[in-house]
């Protein structure tokens, strides 16, 4: 018979146990994205970027043909990581780029969290490659996009079938916090949620303004 105890499951992410890799959030890639609208995509990219930066998550920012074709990375992301170098690639599969892999090995975390454009090319490639090399892989589905709903969904199916774990942007933020009694990151988490959390963020603003409510009590 199982015996319950008040402890988190090992499959839950912590700020210390993973590397977030943000891939090809660039103008040229977004123009053809149809599985998610540009406003939602940019919002969710900003949410996970500010969450990672605020919680001190090891983060890699990578682009493809930035100056010659695809354009700059979304400012919502780069503003969260001021001064951080962007690793520009020629390979569609991030996991085949020596500079990116050198950074992954330097960081040395056993888990990789992926988000970017497009799901069926630039996310599938590193997801399947990292899984084969023994990494645990998570994909933030609503911070990814592809040229059609079909392309995005089949890509997610393929990764999940291979062992990747899907999640959402807001889920990522709240999983990093996970306990409202963690006072040191409470304001950070609710601040990000108020700015980028949609209706949930409006609810926080309403509760705090009208009733002085706080989740930790």
CB 81 within 8 A of CB 55: no
Note if 144 is an active site residue. no
Residue 120 to residue 126: CA distance in whole angstroms: 11
Catalytic residue among 20, 61, 117, 122: 122
Across the beta sheet with 165-167, the strand order is 87-89, 58-64, 18-23, 111-117, 136-145, 165-167
Which two structure tokens, joined as six digits, stand for 49?
């970027």
Nearest-angstrom CA–CA distance, 94 and 90: 9
Distances (CA, A) of 172 to 7, 86, 212: 19, 22, 26
| Residues belonging to the active site | 122
């Amino acid at each position: 018979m199982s015996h319950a105890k008040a402890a988190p499951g090992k499959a839950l992410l912590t700020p210390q146990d993973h590397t977030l890799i943000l891939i090809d959030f660039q103008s040229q890639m977004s123009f053809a994205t149809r599985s998610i609208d540009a406003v939602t995509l940019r919002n969710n990219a900003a949410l996970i970027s500010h969450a990672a930066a605020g919680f001190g998550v090891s983060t890699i920012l990578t682009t493809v043909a930035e100056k010659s074709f695809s354009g700059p990375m979304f400012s919502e992301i780069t503003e969260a990581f001021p001064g951080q170098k962007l690793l520009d690639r020629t390979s569609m599969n991030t996991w085949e780029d020596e500079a990116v892999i050198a950074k992954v090995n330097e960081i040395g975390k056993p888990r990789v969290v992926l988000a970017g454009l497009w799901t069926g090319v630039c996310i599938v490639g590193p997801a399947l490659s990292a899984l084969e090399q023994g990494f645990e892989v998570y994909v933030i589905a609503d911070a990814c996009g592809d040229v059609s709903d079909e392309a995005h969904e089949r890509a997610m199916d393929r990764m999940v079938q291979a062992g990747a774990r899907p999640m959402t942007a807001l889920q990522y933020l709240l999983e990093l916090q996970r306990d409202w009694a963690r006072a040191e990151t409470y304001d950070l988490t609710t601040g990000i949620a108020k700015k980028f959390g949609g209706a949930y963020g409006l609810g926080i603003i309403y509760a705090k303004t009208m009733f002085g409510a706080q989740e930790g009590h």
